[in-house]
Amino acid sequence: MKKFVSMLLVAMLCVAMCATLASAEDFSGVTVTYWTAPFGENDAAFFEEQLSDWMARTGAQVNIEVIPWDSYEEKYMTGVASGTGPDVGYMYNEMLFNYIDSGAILPIDEYFTDEVKAAAIYWENGKVLGQQYLLPYVVGNPRILYVNMDLLAEAGLDAAPTTWDELVSTAKAIKEATGKTGFDQQWGGYFGDLNEVFFPYLWQAGGRLVDDEGNLFPDFDAALKAAEFLYSLKTEGVISEYCTSRDGSAIAEDFRNGDIGMAIMSTSAAAKNTEAGINWGFAPYTTETAGGTFVANDSLVLMSSAKNVEAAISLMKEITSIPVMEAFHEQVYQMPPISEGEKYLDNPAFETMYEEAASGFHALPVVANFSQIEAALYSNLQSMMMDDLTPEEALRTTIDYAASLS
């Protein structure tokens, strides 16, 4: 009898809990549109499966649109401008400014409890332009220096370089011992490649991209030091003479063919490097004045056009919940955890790096006209690599151009 009563009590408690849950989150008839990017083989199918629980629990429907990387921003721009955009979007820092500036993205601070904020490891990264606009979601994928350990061994070395001088001497040693390119960079891609080819060196030289007023390269000498170093890589024959026609794919392919000794790629490239049979090692970055490299800080955002803000917030919480994120990191896209208590499912090789090297990981700033400035900077640095501009001219031209925009 006692047992029966306790069971009854438990059952009643359950019913009561379900009832409160249901009343708190009943979005029957609501459809939340989520725009994401193609990370895996079939992202729409993945999210539909993972979010089926949430849909059953809340009665809401999820409409998932996977936006191709080709023309990702075009699609957001036209979608938001025409009112056919998403309720919840996936965006990266470089594209955020205009949306926040025009009020297309809403601050989310009030919807999250202190416990949730404390559990979100990168919550602070979501504060841009003075407010909490972002729920950090894909944080990681730093651009690291991969080394082909077999080629390194042939050159009689056993450790990845840690300074610029070592980078140069290691590259030269590999070239001498094996006849292959020691280190290579993609100067023939598009401006997004600055994350691999320029920004890391800028930070390593102790420079910043913009200051608080939005001025480009506030520490000009550091930027110049980085540019001069990169230029010397070309003139001294460290990187390939064909670098101005190579893009990220070509560099990755060469590395996986064992044709180049070292290259900077994202951590998400590790699995394919292994698959290609490369015995690789890595350094998170080389250190000159400081250590530094690019890290992604992509987020979920709440669009102001969301028809039902509570449902949209609930979906954002569900997507970033531990079970969904673990499944995402396991099945779709290997990344480090974003919440306390979430399992580490990225490549085991990087587990300690995320703590040890964290101080050198920089995300891009959210500032006006950033993609224009990036396009001009990449173009001018390409000209530098082709001997059309000196390193100083390349940077000065870009600074003048950036100033002319504001």
Reported for 23-27, long-range contacts at CB under 8 A and 24+ positions apart, including other chains, are 25/57, 25/58, 25/310, 25/314, 26/58, 26/59, 27/58, 27/59, 27/60, 27/308, 27/310, 27/311, 27/314
Which is closer to other proteins, CB of 321 or CB of 369? 369
Interaction residues for other proteins, span 65-94 (CB under 8 A): 65-66, 68-71, 73-75, 77-85
**Which member of 38, 107, 206, 218 binds other proteins (CB under 8 A)?**
38
Residue 104 interacting with other proteins (CB under 8 A): yes
16's enclosing H/E stretch is: helix 2-24
Which is closer to other proteins, CB of 79 or CB of 365? 79
Type of residue numbered 223: A
Which is closer to other proteins, CB of 181 or CB of 342? 181
Residue 49 interacting with other proteins (CB under 8 A): no
Q: Decide if 171 contacts 155 (C-beta within 8 A).
A: no
From 154-162, 207-215, 224-232, 377-385, span contacting other proteins (CB under 8 A): 377-385
Site string for other proteins, 153-192 (x = CB under 8 A): ----------------------------------xxxx--
Residue 6 interacting with other proteins (CB under 8 A): no
Q: Decide if 286 contacts 202 (C-beta within 8 A).
A: no
* Cβ count near 129 (within 10 Å): 15
Which is closer to other proteins, CB of 359 or CB of 372? 372
CB-based burial label for 74 (10 Å; 0-12, 13-18, 19+): exposed
Reported for 77-84, long-range contacts at CB under 8 A and 24+ positions apart, including other chains, are 79/35, 80/104, 80/303, 80/305, 83/305
Residue 217 backbone class (left: φ over 0; alpha: ψ -120 to 50; beta: rest): left
To other proteins, the closest distance from the beta carbon of 242 in angstroms equals 4
Interaction residues for other proteins, span 312-371 (CB under 8 A): 369, 371
DSSP 250-281: HHHHHHHTT-EEEEEEEGGGHHHHHHTT--EE
DSSP 302-338: EETT-S-HHHHHHHHHHHTSHHHHHHIIIII-----S
Tell me how many residues contact other proteins (CB under 8 A).
Answer: 67
Structure tokens at 314: 């609930």
* Cβ count near 237 (within 10 Å): 13
Site string for other proteins, 243-272 (x = CB under 8 A): xxxx-xxx-xxx-x--------xx-xx--x
* Cα–Cα dist 298/97, whole Å: 13
Residue 241 interacting with other proteins (CB under 8 A): yes
Interaction residues for other proteins, span 119-158 (CB under 8 A): none
From 49-57, 145-153, 308-316, 383-391, span contacting other proteins (CB under 8 A): 383-391
**Which member of 116, 119, 177, 375 binds other proteins (CB under 8 A)?**
375
Pairing of strands 260-266, 31-36: unpaired
Q: Decide if 234 contacts 125 (C-beta within 8 A).
A: no
From 9-17, 39-47, 112-120, 282-290, span contacting other proteins (CB under 8 A): 39-47
Residue 290 interacting with other proteins (CB under 8 A): no
Which is closer to other proteins, CB of 205 or CB of 230? 230
Query: Is residue 144 classed as helix, strand or coil in its secondary structure?
Result: strand
Which is closer to other proteins, CB of 211 or CB of 242? 242
To other proteins, the closest distance from the beta carbon of 122 in angstroms equals 20
Contact positions vs other proteins (CB under 8 A): 37-38, 41-42, 44, 65-66, 68-71, 73-75, 77-85, 98-99, 101-102, 104, 187-190, 240-246, 248-250, 252-254, 256, 265-266, 268-269, 272, 369, 371-372, 375-376, 378-380, 382-383, 385-386, 388, 397, 401, 404
